[in-house]
Amino acid sequence: MIKVITYGTFDLFHEGHYRLLQRAKNLGDYLIVGVTTEAYDQTRGKLNVVDSLVTRIENVKKSGFADEVIIEESPGQKVNDIKKFHADIFTVGSDWAGAFDYLNDYCKVVYLERTKNISSTMLREKNSRIQRIGIIGTGRIAERFVPEAKLVSGVSTQGVYNPHWESAVRFAGRWEIEAYSDLEKFYGAVDVVYIATPHETHYGYIKTALEHGKHVLCEKPMVLYKRQAEELFQLAKERRLILFEGIKTAYCPGFSKLLGIACSGTIGSIRNVEACFTKLENPESRELTDRVYGGSFTELGSYCLLPVLKLFGKDFDDIRFDAIHGENGLDLFTKVSLTYPTGVATATCGLGVKSDGRLLISGTKGYLVAEAPWWKTDYFEVHYENPGQVDKYTEHFLGNGLRYEISDFLSMIEGNDKNGFKLTRGESIALAGIMEQFMQLEDRRDEDMGA
């Protein structure tokens, strides 16, 4: 008898799960299925699990393929289970290819091809459905998005669109999804759209996606002009759709905890916020060669302005931009200074100048500091007048952090607005307004230089 063992969450049981179990059973004579507990899913970074463990086990049994169902509760259990049950073959979906090669020391490892184009669910709760995600863009952030999305229950990445067909095909082949060069066909195949394209294209893609009835998650900066942000949020409201700006820091647990401590009165009244994010970018990259839409501020400014707007609000009295420019005129290093009725703030970003990237929040009783990379907050400290008194805080930051924004985006689609405060529509509009002010200043500078 050939024994096969596989594992999974099996939440919102769907056609892909059914086919995976069917193919797993066909590998041998006896199939053992491990179903993960909610607690273990949380430790390994899987978010938004909907069905209870009992429901998920029952759904696996109803498939008719499992000869035995076990519960997976901890890391390292797979090796012990393989030995305990004398499994001959370990198998999982091909989206995990390579992750379990170490098990080849104990049995044969088989990666099963992923089921594409999941359009229906099976054995699911009446009000639950899987959102089919389509990606527009095939760059670095899109590559990070796909593995993060598979760790959020209730979504399935279905396809990718790029007007450059070869790029779409390469990306689709890597992630075992469908490639599209026709935007209409792409919109017809998905429920929600993730936009990860150059900044200047965001507005057009967001608008057409909303007009096709699709919820939209768009990378930062969502748009570069205030009037565009206002128009798109209004269109989303009219169509009863969710438009969501993807500044991942806003949705991460550590940053939420940091804001809570800062606003709790622990450091008194906040009087100063300093946020800095710099990295040394390849001089040949789009960010440092796109003469109109490149530069450090359009690339990183959203991160640095986020804590300022969250702590001081949208209504500043004055704003000032100071920048160092490269030979092609793009800003390599920009400092934005904002004055508020009760405090001051600076947001500093750079692609060609490296600085101490930290977040400092100063109050009347003490200060809070998160060292770089604070935009991936997992640790911060609160200091007081007494240098020996330091409060230390930690929080998980899993993977690239994109799973948190995907999870909150999905919650809003499902009608749960409890996390809408993390980045409000008003704050996204304010960010677009500041971007617009900066770009107008840069345009005037170019005109003066030309003159």
pLDDT in tens, 116-133: 665 433 333 434 578 999
Residues present in the chain in total: 451
Q: What pLDDT sits at residue 76? A: 87
Instruction: Show Cβ contacts of residue 114 under 8 Å, excluding neighbours closer than 6 positions.
Output: 16, 93, 94, 95, 176
- The average pLDDT across 252-257 equals 95
Among candidates 144, 251, 162, which has minimal Cα distance to 205? 162
Mark whether 151 and 258 lie in a shared domain. no
Range of weakest confidence among 22-26, 86-90, 91-95, 241-245: 91-95
Q: Name the strand (E) or helix (H) holding 257.
A: helix 253-263
Q: Is residue 78 part of a domain?
A: yes
Q: Is residue 317 part of a domain?
A: yes
Amino acid at 260: G
Measured CA to CA, the distance from residue 345 to residue 332 in angstroms comes to 20
Mark whether 203 and 139 lie in a shared domain. yes
The DSSP code for 121 is B
Measured CA to CA, the distance from residue 264 to residue 262 in angstroms comes to 6
Return the half-sphere exposure (C-beta side, CA atoms, 13 A cut-off) of residue 4.
22
Mark whether 282 and 362 lie in a shared domain. yes
Q: What pLDDT sits at residue 450? A: 65
Mark whether 258 and 388 lie in a shared domain. yes
If you average pLDDT over every residue of the chain, what do you get? 92
Contact criterion met (CB below 8 Å) for 336 and 275: no
Q: Is residue 71 part of a domain?
A: yes
Q: What pLDDT sits at residue 116? A: 67
CATH number at residue 392: 3.30.360.10
Task: Check pLDDT > 50 for residue 395.
Answer: yes
Mark whether 267 and 323 lie in a shared domain. yes
Q: Is residue 180 part of a domain?
A: yes
CB neighbours of residue 102 within 10 Å? 11
Q: In angstroms, how far is CA 381 from the centroid of its own chain?
A: 25
Task: Check pLDDT > 90 for residue 114.
Answer: no
- The average pLDDT across 34-43 equals 89
Mark whether 44 and 19 lie in a shared domain. yes
Q: Report the DSSP beta bridge partners of residue 380.
A: 393
- Residue pointed to by tokens 């009244």: 269
pLDDT in tens, 187-208: 999 999 999 999 999 999 999 9
Mark whether 265 and 376 lie in a shared domain. yes
Q: What pLDDT sits at residue 24? A: 96
Q: Is residue 428 part of a domain?
A: no
Q: Is residue 436 part of a domain?
A: no
Mark whether 141 and 60 lie in a shared domain. no
Q: What pLDDT sits at residue 118? A: 58
Among candidates 22, 4, 155, 140, which has minimal Cα distance to 85? 4
CATH number at residue 193: 3.40.50.720
Q: Domain boundary at 187, 222, 247, which?
A: 247
Measured CA to CA, the distance from residue 441 to residue 435 in angstroms comes to 10
Q: Name the strand (E) or helix (H) holding 367.
A: strand 366-370
Q: What pLDDT sits at residue 123? A: 32
Q: What pLDDT sits at residue 124? A: 37
Contact criterion met (CB below 8 Å) for 406 and 155: yes
Measured CA to CA, the distance from residue 431 to residue 420 in angstroms comes to 16
pLDDT band at 292; cut points 50, 70, 90: confident
Contact criterion met (CB below 8 Å) for 5 and 39: no
Mark whether 205 and 283 lie in a shared domain. no
Backbone angles phi, psi at 168, to 5 degrees: -65, -40
**Beta strand pairing call for 359-363 and 366-370:** antiparallel
Q: Report the DSSP beta bridge partners of residue 274.
A: 346, 360
pLDDT band at 46; cut points 50, 70, 90: confident
Amino acid at 138: T
Q: Is residue 420 part of a domain?
A: no
Measured CA to CA, the distance from residue 377 to residue 171 in angstroms comes to 30
Measured CA to CA, the distance from residue 197 to residue 9 in angstroms comes to 32
Tell me how many domains the chain contains.
3
Q: Domain boundary at 112, 141, 158, which?
A: 112
Mark whether 366 and 335 lie in a shared domain. yes
The DSSP code for 14 is B
Q: Domain boundary at 247, 263, 283, which?
A: 247
CATH number at residue 13: 3.40.50.620
Measured CA to CA, the distance from residue 261 to residue 265 in angstroms comes to 7
Question: Residue 22 belongs to what domain range?
Answer: 3-112
Q: Is residue 198 part of a domain?
A: yes
Measured CA to CA, the distance from residue 245 to residue 437 in angstroms comes to 19
Mark whether 270 and 164 lie in a shared domain. no
Contact criterion met (CB below 8 Å) for 137 and 171: no
Portion of the chain with pLDDT greater than 90, in percent: 81
pLDDT band at 444; cut points 50, 70, 90: confident
Mark whether 314 and 227 lie in a shared domain. no
pLDDT band at 164; cut points 50, 70, 90: very high
pTM of the model: 0.84
